[in-house]
Amino acid sequence: MQGAEFESCPWNIMFDLFMGGRQQDLVFTLYSDHWRKMRKILTVPFFTSKVVQTYSNMWEHEMDLVIDELKKDGSARTEGVVIQRQLQLMLYNITYSMMFNTKFESLDDRLYIELARLNSERGRLTRSFEYNYGDFIPLLRPFLARYLSKCRDLKDRRLAFLNLNFHSKEEDGGITEANVMYLVDNLNIASQDTTLWTLEWTIAELVNHPVIQDKIRDGIMSVLKGEPVKESNLCRLPYLQATVKESLRVHTPVPLLIPHMNLEERKLGGYTIPKESKVVVNAWWLANNLELWKEPEQFRLERFLEEESATEVAAGRKVDFRLITFRTGRRRCPGMILAMPIAGVAIGRLLSNFKIKAPYGLEKVDVRGIRGQFSFRIANHSTVVLEPVDGIIN
């Protein structure tokens, strides 16, 4: 693309309601001084390498709590458990510890139950296709009145709940109430929703590919020699990293990326793009294109290891436009710096402690998905059997 000429993002009628007005957030806003200010305000406290280093011990502690709970649960070794529940609580504790210096004690925590319910309702509304035609055909917006009323009501209830129960970090730069709501939503997406979906997809694929599980576990044993998987040593575990990448490729959590927009008429690829056009990138198509990948329908880690080990793409020296799960350029998702290490450490620690299997009587778990405008989630939360592994890491 032509740099800043397509870096603006168009207004979105429904997200506008949740963010408290146009140009209040960092995603659906023009490429402008406001965007630069908001990115600085919201990135520095949460989305930098320093933040990752500061909070990585907390993440690892929360992951250890999940491991401990699963080891105590006798049913995990027999009929199996829906591990998604514990992973969701873990991600909430990571996110809300970073934002509000608070955590939830268990799945039965009253605040956790209410917050998860409100966020689930928020997710259901944002994933709905109901509002989409109003964005693309403004004349039809009056027919969205009932739906938008639900969005306004939910926004008010969520804001009241957050104001009553949490106190945000004070930062210089003029963070408004609307900015705080955006921050909560951004972290919900970057560190909760999409990360949770990725963890679920990855676990399901590992159940269906036990050989990959064994290779990851062998790599952890041989490389770390009893040291637990941490953010700081993920770089020494290429097979584990490739597993998360391949999961993101096969099961792209956001199939259609946030639309971009050109403020002026531009030429692109020999075509004239009219002023204020919505440019939508199909990330799923790029990640699953037969012309771009060898056997894209297969869950196969070698594509990120042997086949491309010598390329600049694999070495991280340029952007691989076939795999842009987190977007790219100036508008790249800042939550990437949290999501990737959290997913890698969580999967690594699970495999260090358990062999993850399908319930007895089944060879595989269901990996069918539910597609939405901005989401691709696993259709059925997998029940998995967790067989403890001795002699690796406690």
In the annotated binding site for heme, the residues are 333
User: SS3 for 368?
Assistant: coil
Tokens of 62: 């929360």
Helices (H), 128-193: 132-136, 145-165, 177-187
Distance spanning both ends of the chain, measured CA to CA: 48
- CB neighbours of residue 189 within 10 Å: 21
> Which of 14-39 are b and which e, b meaning 16 or more Cβ less than 10 Å from the residue's Cβ?
bbbbbbbeeebbbbbbbbeeebeebb
Phi, psi (deg, nearest 5) at residue 137: -130, 85
Enumerate the known binding-site residues: 333
Strand-strand pairing, 383-388 and 81-82: antiparallel
Element (H, E) at 388: strand 383-388
**DSSP code per residue over 54-122:** HHHHHHHHHHHHHHHHHHH-GGGGTT-EETHHHHHHHHHHHHHHHHHS----STT-HHHHHHHHHHHHH
In the chain, the amino acid numbered 226 is: G
Query: Which residues, listed in sequence order, are joined to residue 357 by a DSSP beta bridge?
Result: 385
3-state secondary structure 208-275: HCHHHHHHHHHHHHHHHCCCCCCHHHHHHCHHHHHHHHHHHHHCCCCCECCCEECCCCEEECCEEECC
Q: Exposed (0-12), middle (13-18) or buried (19+): which is 271, by Cβ within 10 Å?
A: exposed
